[in-house]
Structure formats: structure tokens, C-alpha cells
Amino acid sequence: MKFNDTLMGALLLALSLSILYTVQQYPVIPGQNIGPGAFPGLLAVLLAVCSVILIFKGLKTSSRVAWIEMGGWVKSWFHLRNFLITVAGLVFYIKLSDKLGFLICGTLILSAMMWALEVQPRRILPIALITTFVIHFIFYKGLRVPLPWGLLTPVQW
């Protein structure tokens, strides 16, 4: 799917303005020149500038380009199915990760995605398990981001 630059610029401008509005409500930290909203605000201003440039670029070419153009993948059942599996995996993780845990959800989602991509069945589970454990290790130990344990809460390491 391809969107006209004017449309994407307008959406990104709306995003940057909403970020700027949000960071204005962040508390001021006494004794510091830079508060918690400084860097998100700076990035939002840069995004707004780029959005305006994108809007003007799109307006110059809007007479020749459609606002929204569907890509060829939308007509391909294989690609559309894989897109839907990806979205379903995200919804599955959002809804059930606290109950099942990251390790179980990650393994199930990766297994479903590899099955959809026609990976050899005997390789799916080992690859999904190893990949999920590596991702968990990177986030949990390396980045210190707590991932949900769910059913495996008694087995935390």
C-alpha cells in the first residue's frame, strides 16, 4: 500500500503536535535546566518540520499521484495471510502475555509465523524456543526490561 506524501505528512504532523501537547504536561524538575519532556519535544519539533516538508512535496505532485494506492501484496493470498497472522500474533500477545508469559506466547507466535512461511516442521519448535529464549535474555538480563512470566512465575531465574 502506498500513501500520498501529503496524507502521510498530515498524519505525521498530527502525531508531532500531539506529542508536543503531551510533553507540555510533564512535570518540571526543580534545579534542572532540561526536564523530562525536552528530548521528546525536540524530536516532535523535528518531526513537524519534516512533516511540513513532506506535505509541500506531496502537494506539488498530488495531481499526478493517487492518495492511496493498493500494493500488489493485497491481491496475494499468501502475503495477506501472513499479514493477518502477524496482526493476530500481536493481538494474542497483548491479550494473553500477562497470563501465559512471554516465553510461552513468544514460542507460540513464532511457531505460527514459521508454519505460515512453510519452514520445515521439525525445525519450527527448536528455532522458536531458542529465538524466544535469546530475546528474553536480551531484554530481561541485558536491558533489564521485565517481561511477563505468566504461568512460569514459580520458575523465574
The DSSP secondary-structure symbol of 152 reads G
pTM of the model: 0.62
Nearby residues of 44 by Cβ (< 8 Å), 6 or more positions away? 16, 17, 19, 20, 23
User: Is the pLDDT reported for residue 75 higher than 90?
Assistant: no
User: pLDDT tens for residues 91-106?
Assistant: 999 999 999 999 999 9
Q: Tell me: pLDDT of 107 over 70.
A: yes
Q: Assess whether pLDDT exceeds 90 at residue 62.
A: no
Of all helices (H) and strands (E), which one includes residue 2? strand 2-3
Q: Counting every residue, how long is the chain? A: 157
DSSP 96-122: HHHHH-HHHHHHHHHHHHHHHTT--HH
Which tens digits make up the pLDDT trace of 130-154? 999 999 999 989 888 889 999 988 8
